[in-house]
Structure 1
Amino acid sequence: MATITEIAPDVYRICLFVPEYNMQFNHFLVKDEEPMLYHAGMRLMFPLLKQAVARLIKPEQLRWVGFSHFEVDECGALNEWLQLAPQAQAVCSEIGAMVNMGDFAIRPARGLNQADVLETGKYRFRFLPTPHLPHGWDAGVLFEEKNKTLFCSDLFHQDGDGVALTDHDILGEVRASLRAGQSSPLPNYMPYTAKTKGMLTALANLQPATLAIMHGSSFRGACGQALLDLDIIMKEELGE
């Protein structure tokens, strides 16, 4: 059963916890004139996610399906949503639209470049490309400018079944999850490169009020400082 929590005005976190992975998969529905689902989810999760979305809006009314990068939990069920909602369109980086969506999606995606803005009605989402952060050269994030919500994708990954939204420090859990990932059969979940600090600093300079996090608790508080601290943790845990 999905749990639904409003973590910022009109931003609803839809959480599916998978005990086998000890991990939450979080999807974010933005209620507006042109509703947006951020993270399409995996294909196997589509029936549950569809039921959850239906508790908030008619799923057929979706206009946008956004995601950071090409990965099954980000966009695996994209075509199921596009088939269900006739006006829906994927929105992602321009690279993702050209390289992946041109073949994968059943309808053309809207590709965004640096500082492009997606308007859904009363909300404006600024796009920031973040290649290889968290991973994938097509990666990017959306920043909702009115209430200052940053859709972080896999940044601030926390294992376990945490609370929906917290103002308590999450960086200890983030460090533990990164460290556990390095010792798993599939290490190098996120690279730390010479450009990581600059991208995280640029995100910190936006001074977000809420971090909408894919895996684990979303965070409200000193988000800019949290992004700067994340750079330190990533460098210590993932750097050469």
Structure 2
Amino acid sequence: MITDATSRTNIHEIADGIYRINTPIDLPNGAGFSFNQYLLVDDEPLLFHTGPRKLFGAVRDAMAAVMPVRRLRYVGFSHFEADECGSLNEWLAIAPEAVPLCGRVGALISITDVADRPPRVLADGEQLPVGRHTLRWMDTPQVPHGWDCGLLMDSLTGTFFCGDLFTQPGHGDQPLTEGDILGPSEGFRQAMDYFAHAPQTPATIERLADLQPRTLACMHGSAWRGDGAALLRQLAHALAGKE
């Protein structure tokens, strides 16, 4: 469903109670790209990624097509970056019960100072029930980049909010695909490598694969459904330069 004709922002349900909000953009070189946010609708709704501040109005209107914006309880994100949390304070201003949701490092180095409301800080492996859904936070320092990185897994649906992992070029026209996303994402990475390639990267990705995700909620491009553990391990091999 398109909710903003000007920005072409649209919203689609990709798993039970989980919606992808997608805004396609055209880069200065003419290439397509996209910004996705994920809305989990439950007793305590969560928005994961805010999108850049300039997209706030379009993302807000997309959320309003599914639930009252004032109900929002958590504004989560992987790390401190404009497309992750650029409109954080705008969301806190219109959702009076909402708080930032982040890891300990993110709270320490950025969010406690930047956010207009104190964050709900999650430890590595900590679970957060929000109703039918329960979220688990995983610290992922330098995966893909930033020492404050962390990601969320929903145990009810097997949806892994995987942030910048599997970043795909293009507008992300398919809300949910079962096709190849590793090939396009690796092509994008080879041209502009956004991974930190830290010593612990393989072990971190293996921890994520052990969660056995069934849906990958990618921040850029289409969300994906399938054997998430196998795909994550293929990513680890690609990052190591293995065939």
TM bucket normalised to smaller: over 0.9
In the alignment, the residues of structure 2 paired with residue 180 and residue 159 of structure 1 have an alpha-carbon distance, to the nearest angstrom, of 11
Structure-2 residue corresponding to 1:208:
213
In the alignment, the residues of structure 2 paired with residue 3 and residue 180 of structure 1 have an alpha-carbon distance, to the nearest angstrom, of 28
Structure-1 residue corresponding to 2:166:
156
DSSP-derived class of the 1:159 partner? coil
Structure-2 residue corresponding to 1:4:
11
Q: Structure 1, unaligned stretches of length 5 or more?
A: 183-188
Amino acid at match of 2:24: F
Cα deviation digits, residues 33-85 of structure 1 (max 9, x gap) = 11111101111000111111110111111000000000000001000000000
Cα deviation digits, residues 109-162 of structure 1 (max 9, x gap) = 011111111111111001100001111111000000111110000000111123
Query: Is 1:43 aligned with 2:43?
Result: no
In the alignment, the residues of structure 2 paired with residue 93 and residue 23 of structure 1 have an alpha-carbon distance, to the nearest angstrom, of 28
In the alignment, the residues of structure 2 paired with residue 76 and residue 63 of structure 1 have an alpha-carbon distance, to the nearest angstrom, of 17
In the alignment, the residues of structure 2 paired with residue 25 and residue 67 of structure 1 have an alpha-carbon distance, to the nearest angstrom, of 13
Q: 2:178 aligns with which of 139, 160, 167?
A: 167
Cα deviation digits, residues 217-239 of structure 1 (max 9, x gap) = 111001100000011122229xx
Amino acid at match of 2:62: A
- What's the RMSD between the two structures over aligned residues? 1.1
TM-score normalised by structure 1 residue count:
0.94
Q: 1:15 aligns with which of 6, 22, 25?
A: 22
Cα deviation digits, residues 162-218 of structure 1 (max 9, x gap) = 311111121110111111214xxxxxx211121110010111111101000001111
Structure-2 residue corresponding to 1:231:
236
Query: Is 1:76 aligned with 2:83?
Result: no
Structure-2 residue corresponding to 1:138:
148
Percent identity between the two aligned chains: 42
DSSP-derived class of the 1:236 partner? coil
Q: Structure 2, unaligned stretches of length 5 or more?
A: 1-7
Q: How far does residue 22 in structure 1 lie from its aligned partner after superposition?
A: 2.0
* Counterparts of residues 182-201 of structure 1 (less than 5 Å): 182=193, 189-201=194-206
Aligned length in residues? 231
In the alignment, the residues of structure 2 paired with residue 233 and residue 24 of structure 1 have an alpha-carbon distance, to the nearest angstrom, of 23
Q: How far does residue 4 in structure 1 lie from its aligned partner after superposition?
A: 1.0
Q: 1:126 aligns with which of 133, 136, 155?
A: 136
Amino acid at match of 2:187: A
In the alignment, the residues of structure 2 paired with residue 217 and residue 122 of structure 1 have an alpha-carbon distance, to the nearest angstrom, of 25
* Counterparts of residues 172-183 of structure 1 (less than 5 Å): 172-182=183-193
In the alignment, the residues of structure 1 paired with residue 11 and residue 239 of structure 2 have an alpha-carbon distance, to the nearest angstrom, of 30
In the alignment, the residues of structure 2 paired with residue 132 and residue 13 of structure 1 have an alpha-carbon distance, to the nearest angstrom, of 25
Amino acid at match of 1:26: N
Amino acid at match of 1:65: V
In the alignment, the residues of structure 1 paired with residue 22 and residue 11 of structure 2 have an alpha-carbon distance, to the nearest angstrom, of 6
In the alignment, the residues of structure 2 paired with residue 128 and residue 75 of structure 1 have an alpha-carbon distance, to the nearest angstrom, of 18
Are the equivalent residues in 2 in contact too, given 1:2–1:52 (CA < 8 A)? Answer: yes
